[in-house]
Amino acid sequence: MKIHREGWPFIAIFLVINLVLFVVSRWVGFVFLPLTLWCVAFFRDPDRRTPEGAGLIISPADGVLLPVVSAPPPLELGMGEAPRTRLSIFMNVFNVHVNRNPADGRVIKLAYRPGRFINASFDKASEYNERMSVRVGLENGAELAVVQIAGLIARRIKCDLREGQIVRRGERFGIIRFGSRLDVYLPDGARVAVAVGQVVKAGETVLAKLG
């Protein structure tokens, strides 16, 4: 099982604590063991087979699709105030948390904004929570936005992208610890290909198709 590099320090801490507990008391060590195994599983980074085809927008995260709404992208991205279709994916603490690029294109702008840590399943989390927003220009000239949003427990957003970087659909670009949300603001004319409540997988599930 592949482990994301962000996870090794946490896994090491959990392992050391677990070993100490086993020395103190075998019973306590076994009680703590599921937490250590959960930590390892949380940072797993499985390979994915990304669908091929023109105009596909792929899920950037594992999780459950929340209600589809129409909302303007984060103002700090400079994409205007016109509402766009927003697809939101909620990741619980048992999902894979490695994020992947939803489409081929170029990173036009990155914008970090501090904020609150409201439960990421709530709609207001998109507006008020800490976030890292990414504006991506697609190969057909359209644009979309991907927003990493911190949650109730999450306190760390990691984004490896750079402005001007060329990105490819399905490539890894970051991770959020520990339970969070990703929003995708679609270009005009994109057709949604998923249903509310559907379980989606980063790098595999087709979220939408460009018109």
**88 an active-site residue?**
no
88, 126, 133, 180: which is the annotated catalytic residue? 180
Please report the DSSP string for the chain in residue order.
Answer: --B-GGGHHHHHHHHHHHHHHHHH-HHHHHHHHHHHHHHHHHTB-----PPP-TTEEE-SSSEEEPPPEEEPPPGGG---S--EEEEEEEE-TTS--EEE-SSSEEEEEEEEE--B---TTSTTHHHHB-EEEEEEEETTS-EEEEEEE--SS--EEEE---TT-EE-TT-EEEEEESSEEEEEEPPTTPEE-S-TT-EE-TTTSEEEE--
The residues that are catalytic are: 180
